[in-house]
């Protein structure tokens, strides 16, 4: 998908244009997608308080006058619960570490866990890794950050360690400088106004999934996947038909809510975000279907786009 306001890139006047891929990894909920969105300047990757919100490799592109950073957002690496879907998500995160120029490992300034250490152990020893220590807005006493940063410095020979707040935009310019300085000299790989490699169909399905993650309890979001069945553009109007698949009839009832009220809220919020992101009116219809075992096997996951 492209942004609406273009930026021009001049390859001739800037002698050292830098461009490359940057994998963004970390345990669930550290703020990887929030960070990628903040660096890209658009909400292209969905976020929520619940772990494992991100289920795909999602590219977010940030083009400046003399750099283009191609961020690869990944599912949170998870070590505790094993399922076919979780194994698939971990594989996506692990694969994203290959063939990138820089790795950003996102850590949480408020707590360092065994899961963080497991992520650091996955880092290829020769990789150029920048640590983004996120959520510093939650730390009132900044002096308390120093021992945490020292502890992080002992985990891996990081190229840089940058405390940031992805949500508030604090120190993101500093983080970006540390990242792009390590990208190779290369022309831009994407047009300057591309924001992501994903199309509107994918983004539409993800926005519905985001609302489900944000508005429901702990069971249903993990039993849910979303597919776009119809997507037609009619002048400035996008007509989008989405199917939400759940594993059981009881989950369907929870998702719909009393008289369909919960689903109505989900659909309204998703539509509003789509209209903002796509820059035009959206007519959205959402259906809920029970599909037992959609997440049970690799073959079934593949059918649903994983
Ligand atoms: N206070 C604070 N909250 C943040 C910050 N960055 C992210 N969050 C919150 O942390 C939660 C998780 O953020 P995400 O960006 O979805 O995290 P993620 O690492 O992509 O999570 P998964 O995709 O599930 O692995 C959300 O509720 C965010 O709003 C930050 O800088 N400060
Ligand atoms: Mg995420």
- Ligand 2 mean position to 30 CA, how many Å? 8
CA–centroid distance, residue 37 to ligand 1 (Å): 11
Residue 34 token pair: 């929030």
Of 180, 208, 236, which closes a domain?
180
Nearest ligand, CA 45 = 2
**Atom of ligand 1 minimally distant from the CA of 36:** 15
231 lies in which domain range?
A: 200-303
User: Are 209 and 166 found together in one domain?
Assistant: no
pLDDT tens for 26-52 read 999 999 999 999 999 999 999 999 999
109 and 166 share one domain: yes
Q: Are residues 153 and 290 in the same domain?
A: no
The reply to whether 146 and 26 lie within a common domain is: yes
The average pLDDT across 131-148 equals 95
Token pair 């399922």 in the structure block, residue: 83
In a domain, 4, yes or no: no
What residues are in contact with ligand 1 under a 6 Å CB criterion?
Answer: 26, 28-34, 47-49, 51-54, 75-76, 134-135, 137-138, 165-167
pLDDT for 8: 52
Judgement on whether residues 146 and 213 belong to the same structural domain of the protein = no
Does residue 189 sit within a domain?
A: no
Residue 135 is assigned to a structural domain of this protein: yes
Cβ count within 10 A of residue 90: 18
pLDDT at 251 over 50: yes
Statement to judge: residues 169 and 213 lie in one domain: no
Ligand nearest to the CA of 37: 1
Cα of 34 from ligand 1 centre, angstroms: 6
Q: What is the CATH number of the domain that holds 266?
A: 3.30.300.20
**Residue 120 pLDDT more than 90?**
yes
Is 190 within a domain? no
Same domain, 150 and 28: yes
CA distances from 122 to 55, 58, 86, 158, 220 (A): 19, 20, 16, 14, 30
Assign residue 115 the CATH number of its domain.
Answer: 3.40.50.300
What's the number of domains the chain is made of?
2
Share of the chain above pLDDT 90, in %: 89
Q: What's CA 200's distance to the chain center, in Å?
A: 15
The pLDDT confidence band at residue 277, using thresholds 50, 70 and 90, is very high
User: 14 C-alpha vs ligand 2 centroid, how far in Å?
Assistant: 34
d(CA 140, CA 1): 38
* Rounded Cα–Cα distance for residues 277 and 290 (Å): 29
Q: Whose CA is nearest to atom 30 of ligand 1?
A: 135
1 pLDDT band (50/70/90 cuts)?
Answer: confident
78 pLDDT tier (thresholds 50, 70, 90): confident
**Tens-digit pLDDT profile for residues 159-217:** 999 999 999 999 999 999 999 999 999 999 999 999 999 999 999 999 999 999 999 99
Q: Are residues 172 and 24 in the same domain?
A: yes
Model pLDDT, residue 13 = 55
Q: How long a stretch of residues is the chain? A: 306
Q: Do the domain assignments include residue 195?
A: no
- Please state, rounded to an integer, the average pLDDT across all residues of the chain: 94
Looking at the structure, do residues 129 and 261 belong to the same domain, yes or no?
A: no
Q: Are residues 50 and 174 in the same domain?
A: yes
> Is there a domain that residue 192 lies in?
no
Is residue 191 in a domain? no
Q: Are 218 and 88 contained in the same domain?
A: no
Q: Which of 180, 213, 232 is the last residue in one of the domains?
A: 180
Please indicate, yes or no, if residue 127 is contained in any of the structural domains.
yes
Q: How many angstroms is it from 76 CA to the middle of ligand 2?
A: 6
Name the pTM for this structure.
0.94
Question: Could you tell me if 164 and 204 lie in one domain?
Answer: no
């Amino acid at each position: 998908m492209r942004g609406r306001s273009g930026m021009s890139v001049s390859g001739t006047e800037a002698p050292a244009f830098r461009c490359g891929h940057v994998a963004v990894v970390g345990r669930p909920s550290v703020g990887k997608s929030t960070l990628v969105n903040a660096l890209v300047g658009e909400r292209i990757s969905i976020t929520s308080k619940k772990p494992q919100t991100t289920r795909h490799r999602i590219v977010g592109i940030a083009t400046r006058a003399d750099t283009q950073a191609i961020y690869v957002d990944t599912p949170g690496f998870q070590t505790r619960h094993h399922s076919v879907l979780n194994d698939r998500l971990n594989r996506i995160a692990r694969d994203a570490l290959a063939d990138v120029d820089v790795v950003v490992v996102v850590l949480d300034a408020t707590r360092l866990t065994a899961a963080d250490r497991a992520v650091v152990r996955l880092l290829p020893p020769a990789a150029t890794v920048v640590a983004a220590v996120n959520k510093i807005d939650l730390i009132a006493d900044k002096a308390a950050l120093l021992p945490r940063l020292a502890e992080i410095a002992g985990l891996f020979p990081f190229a840089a360690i940058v405390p940031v707040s992805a949500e508030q935009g604090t120190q993101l310019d500093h983080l970006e400088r540390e990242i792009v300085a390590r990208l190779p000299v290369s022309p831009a790989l994407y047009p300057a106004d591309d924001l992501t490699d994903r199309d509107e169909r994918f983004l539409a399905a993800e926005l519905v999934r985001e609302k489900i993650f944000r508005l429901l309890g702990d069971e249903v979001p993990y039993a849910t996947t979303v597919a776009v069945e119809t997507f037609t553009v009619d002048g400035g109007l996008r007509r989008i038909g989405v199917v939400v698949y759940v594993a059981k009839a009881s989950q369907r009832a929870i998702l719909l809510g009393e008289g369909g009220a919960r689903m109505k809220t989900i659909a309204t919020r998703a539509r509003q975000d789509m209209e903002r992101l796509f820059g035009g009116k959206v007519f959205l219809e959402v259906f809920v279907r029970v599909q037992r075992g959609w997440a049970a096997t690799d073959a079934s996951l593949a059918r649903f786009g994983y």
